Amino acid sequence: MNKKKLTDLAGTIRSKDAGVNMITFDIIFYNSEIYQKVKKSRALTRESIAALYNLPAERISHFVEFDPANAVKFTIYRTLPNGSPGDWDMLGCQYYGPLVDFEIPWE
């Protein structure tokens, strides 16, 4: 089975601060056809994201497939409050990295 990386399918893959205890992620696909194909594959799920980030699924507060924007959005709880000692990314903008190489089954 062929696979494609998210970076080849989505024009935007980002993470950002969503308050003191959360980081939110956006994956916005190039068009509806690509988005629907990814959605139908069921490769991007709460469980697959939890596995990718090596965290329990309960740390994902929201997981939404947002059809009007051809996007998948999810939010995770931080392990440390934003800005506390040991927080290496206050803006949450470096957490998206593992998503770039995430593979989607593609035929």
Would residue 38 count as lying in a domain? yes
The per-residue pLDDT for range 38-66, each reduced to its tens digit, is: 999 999 999 999 999 999 999 999 999 99
Would residue 94 count as lying in a domain? no
The per-residue pLDDT for range 12-36, each reduced to its tens digit, is: 999 999 988 999 999 999 999 999 9
Would residue 79 count as lying in a domain? yes
Q: Give CA–CA dist 7/69, Å, rounded.
A: 17
Q: What is the pTM of this model?
A: 0.92
Residues found in the chain: 107
Instruction: Write the single-letter amino acid at 22.
Output: M
What pLDDT is attached to residue 94? 86
Total tally of structural domains belonging to the chain: 1
What pLDDT is attached to residue 39? 97
Beta bridge partners of 75: 24, 62
Would residue 3 count as lying in a domain? no
Would residue 34 count as lying in a domain? yes
Would residue 99 count as lying in a domain? no
CA-CA-CA-CA torsion sign (85, 90, 92, 93): negative
Domain that holds residue 33: 11-89
Contacts of 66 (CB under 8 A, 6+ apart): 72, 73
What pLDDT is attached to residue 76? 96
